[in-house]
Structure 1
Amino acid sequence: MKLKLFKGITFALLWYTCIIWAVFFIYCPLIFLLFVNRRLYRKCTDIILSCWELYPASLLEIFMGCRVCISGDDINPDDGAILIMNHRNRLDWFFLWAALLHSTKPPAHRCKFVLKSDVRIIPGIGWGLQMAGYLFIHRNWEKDKILLKRSLDYFKSIKEKYQILIFPEGTNISKNTKEKSHSFADKNGLQRYEHVLHPRTTGFTFLAEYMKSNSQLDAVYDITVGYPKTLPSSETDLLLGNIPEEVHFHIKRYPAKELPSDEIPIKKWCEERWEAKEDALAKFYKPQTDRKFATDYKCDRPWNAMYFALVAWTMFTIYTVYLTFTSSIAFYWVLFSTISHIIVSYFSIGIQQFEIDLYNKFDREREDGETRRLNSSIPTTNGKDKKVY
């Protein structure tokens, strides 16, 4: 029990301290690039995040001994896509990082999560996710629709394809949320679900319609997560070392052309996916079963890269923390970065929206001007000069 607690505390400290000091010493210096070249800033922050995501996966699987099992389809990192997943507990997103790493070929996913706005003010991880361009919502649909549209338009303008993860249930399963889901089902004459919550389809429907019309949607990936043994519930479980022995993910890819075209059919399509999830999870959690989604699991791991990431990021964390308290320059840089992020997080809607504002102010105007100049330089012909080939 003491060893378990020690490993849990060590795991949490390494993971969280690495996040904070990576923001201070890697992400924050890139802020200056944001004022010079938005496209380059976005590429750099994306690459850094991809490199860092190996670290929590390595801590989870190598240090804590958690086995992440993947079945179904691979995720194509070149797809512009929507990822939808059931939300079993508050830590699903953490295990999903490892799942995304192992389910893409090569292991280089480009996923942005849709998260509650409160997450962006959390020291360290919230600041880093702002700079990584994640999408934050405020539970006000009129406001959220505008913010989502701005982010999607920006991604298209800079010619970057991403996978957008959304939890249609809106929150994780708990006694309170399950009772609300049952009440909704009873009121609308629907089946009561025991392993999922009835999905809120507004956000997904908007993303599917808008990304499809914006030529940003190649596929929808339906992900189902299950915990065959230990089931953590909150961040406290990480600290206490209550890490699941295994986490299972089943992935199904649906090409965008297979999705319905209108709002009501898309909503129905999402609801059907959740009905299928309930059936799959009912079988998964059935007593005296192997608790697997499929017999064929993908267990390939980039072990060399994971061991390297484990050592490199741990050494980086130790060194930068040491530097902070031995160098006055480093100390005041950390202090300045902390104050700046607190001000931005509490008095604006985030660095990620400031990035879009800068692009719209400078890059878009210049690109529109170049397009107009190009069009004006193309010779025009009257109808008599046209040739049909």
Structure 2
Amino acid sequence: MQIEVYADDETFELLGKEHALVISNHKSDLDWLIGWILAQRSGCLGSALAVMKNEAKVLPIIGWSMWFSDYVFLERSWGRDERTLQSGFERLADFPMPFWLALFVEGTRFTQAKLQVAQEFAASRGLPVPKNVLIPRTKGFVSAVTHLRSFVPAIYDATVAVANSQPAPTFLRIFRGQSSVIKVLVERHSMRGLPETADGIAQWCKDAFVTKDAMLEKYFDKDIFSDKKLQDIGRPKMSLFVMIFWSGFLAYATVRLFQWLSLFLASWQVIAFSVAFLFLVTFIMQILIQSSESERSTPATNFTLSEGTRQSLLPK
């Protein structure tokens, strides 16, 4: 998966050097992996956190790592999630290193079926009709800004797009060795510049997604993604060395395990163990692939466009 990052030089220099709340459109099944790659290239992978749905923490290996990394998991019930979010935000106040906290305010992954639901909802309410994003749910964002603004200096507004004429990345494509080009625009906003009231914060988020939708429409129509600079995020050699080391170590350990088993078990037992092991690996891979299947979305409500954003989107 190839990632192209667009940002101004000042924003790019600050990546990984400050606390930040990260919001993004939820474009593909592997947006979390895109975030991990960007965090790793920015030097803050170990402190990259996210707000996730509760079911994600039971995913083999990946979900477990998120759980142990102290991600915030929600049940999609505001009565319970409000307390969970508040507790999670309070734990970050004394975080010892720069962290990113990712929040997908659309609440679910983008699909054409979900987009149609959002469009029908917007049209029925006389609201701006989205074309490339879903309608954001702002309660979590308002809570995040309210609790984090005293010690988190910035919001990174990320816009993610799959390169034109290319399919979105999925686990299945990765397992098949098929690559995708992902374009990411990162815009930094000072937390102090956001409104003070809950309604104002919510409107800021809604306006950001209207602007994001217009930008994506321009990209898909005219193939112009951003006027920001394409930054070189590099490809650290240390990560390659670590991957090679652990791949070699696991391969060696597996061979030694089967050699050791052959000393104590009959041939048919070793074969049975091998088949069971391969079945387990296949089962885990199948779970990971199925975990990326899209879910039904529930559109947000009370979506209006502020006059400033409305004027900025008018033809000139």
Q: Is the TM value for this pair above 0.5?
A: yes
TM-score where L is the length of structure 2: 0.74
**Structure 2: unaligned runs, 5 residues or longer:** 262-279, 281-316
The Cα shift of 1:175 comes to 2.5
Taking the aligned partners of 1:310 and 1:260, their CA distance within structure 2 comes to: 44
Aligned to 1:150, the other structure's residue is in SS state helix
Aligned to 2:21, the other structure's residue is in SS state strand
- Cross-structure match for 1:99: 38
- Cross-structure match for 2:90: 153
Report how many residues are paired: 257
Residue 161 and residue 150 in structure 1: after superposition, are their counterparts in 2 closer, same or farther (change >3 A)? farther
| Structure-to-structure mapping, 1:81-160, within 5 angstroms | 81-102=20-41, 104=42, 107-109=43-45, 110-157=47-94, 159=96
Tell me which of 233, 241, 247 is aligned to 1:314: 247
TM-score where L is the length of structure 1: 0.61
Deviation by residue 1:271-303 (Cα, 9 ceiling, x = unmatched): 11101101111111115x3x4323621124144
Taking the aligned partners of 1:151 and 1:325, their CA distance within structure 2 comes to: 44
Which of the pair is proportionally richer in helix? Answer: 1
Identity rate, percent = 22
Larger Rg: 1
Contact 2:18 2:153 in 1 (8 A): yes
Letter paired with 2:167: L
Letter paired with 2:39: L
* Higher relative contact order, structure no. (Cα contacts within 8 Å, ≥ 6 residues apart): 2
The Cα shift of 1:141 comes to 1.0
The Cα shift of 1:155 comes to 2.7
Deviation beyond 6 Å, 4+ runs, structure 1: none
Letter paired with 1:313: W
Letter paired with 1:89: S
Residue 239 and residue 217 in structure 1: after superposition, are their counterparts in 2 closer, same or farther (change >3 A)? same
Contact 2:216 2:225 in 1 (8 A): no
Taking the aligned partners of 2:73 and 2:193, their CA distance within structure 1 comes to: 28
Residue 325 and residue 254 in structure 1: after superposition, are their counterparts in 2 closer, same or farther (change >3 A)? farther
Residue 241 and residue 257 in structure 1: after superposition, are their counterparts in 2 closer, same or farther (change >3 A)? same
The Cα shift of 1:156 comes to 2.3
| Structure-to-structure mapping, 1:283-298, within 5 angstroms | 283-287=218-222, 289=223, 291-294=224-227, 296-298=229-231
Residue 185 and residue 326 in structure 1: after superposition, are their counterparts in 2 closer, same or farther (change >3 A)? farther
The Cα shift of 1:140 comes to 0.8
Tell me which of 231, 240, 244 is aligned to 2:167: 231
Residue 154 and residue 108 in structure 1: after superposition, are their counterparts in 2 closer, same or farther (change >3 A)? closer
- Cross-structure match for 1:166: 103
